[in-house]
Amino acid sequence: MIIVDTLDLSISTIKHTTQQLSQYFNASSIPIPPILAIVHTGSLFKHTIYKLGIQDYLSYPTIAEELIYRVYQASSKPFTICHKAAQLCSNSVTTSESELKLIERTTSFLIPRLTQDITLKALTKKVGTNRNKLNYAFKSYFGATVFVWLREQRMKKAAELLESSELNITQISEQVGYPDSNNFSTAFKKVFHLSPLQYRINQQQNMHEAKKPVRRLKAKRHLNT
């Protein structure tokens, strides 16, 4: 895993960095490890980094529970496979081209529909497969079934809304497909080990601390008498 400190970097610099890393690993014929970026909590381009080859971000100032969760999620997923080094992939199960296309269709369908209650039967019909093939593809690539993956995306989206929006907990739970806010809070706490409210409070405190001016101590000159 590679963690890039992007706090003082421009988008173009981040893009150049990820391109250089990709070229290095491809030239070495080894899998590209997950790349995470340290991003300020209040950053306006936090979600733009996904388009730059970054797998996920780590908010700064950090919350221990979020840091552990995001690092664990990134490290539990297979490395990107270089075309010259498929045999070096850390995941012993190879994901075929047809399975990758199935995963792409499924994730593209689910991500914009996090608010909806989608059944496995309806999902498999929509993407043109059966439950066994779909779950096998997701397990081989993400290490989890499609609905475990979906729950992770919902919790990640919930964390983003708690950080960046003024929606209340009930509204956020509905935004991520949980009509019952109690069920949402339980699911959220299992992932982040904090209630949604406590997570938001911690983020707000961190942002407040980050905005405080840095105090610089002036050196005092001691005159010998």
Quote the pLDDT of residue 144. 81
Quote the pLDDT of residue 212. 62
Strands across the sheet with 2-5, in order?
Answer: 2-5, 35-40, 56-60
User: What pTM was computed for the model?
Assistant: 0.58
Quote the pLDDT of residue 80. 41
Quote the pLDDT of residue 148. 87
Find all residues with CB under 8 Å of 163, minimum gap 6, and list them.
Answer: 41, 59, 200, 203
CATH fold label, 145-225: Arc Repressor Mutant, subunit A (1.10.10)
Give pLDDT tens digits for 180-198: 999 999 999 888 888 999 9
70 sits in the region (left: phi over 0; alpha: psi -120 to 50; else beta) called alpha
Query: Confidence class of residue 208 from pLDDT cuts 50, 70 and 90?
Result: low
Residue with tokens 């297979």: 78
For residues 75 and 150, the model is more confident at 150
Query: Confidence class of residue 42 from pLDDT cuts 50, 70 and 90?
Result: low
- Exposed / middle / buried, residue 217 (Cβ in 10 Å: 0-12, 13-18, 19+): exposed
Give pLDDT tens digits for 68-89: 777 777 776 544 433 333 333 3
Would you list the domain boundaries of the chain? 1-90, 93-143, 145-225
> Yes or no: is domain 1-90 CATH 3.40.50.2300?
yes
Query: Per the structure block, which two tokens stand in for 118?
Result: 């989608």
Query: Per the structure block, which two tokens stand in for 139?
Result: 């397990």
Question: By mean pLDDT, which of 28-37, 97-106, 139-148, 207-216 is the weakest?
Answer: 207-216
Give pLDDT tens digits for 8-29: 777 777 888 888 888 888 887 7
Q: What is the mean pLDDT of the segment spanning 23-39?
A: 82
- Gap between the Cα atoms of 73 and 146, Å rounded: 15
Give the three-state DSSP class for 216: coil
Quote the pLDDT of residue 61. 66
In this chain, the answer to whether the domains covering 1-90 and 145-225 adopt an identical fold is no
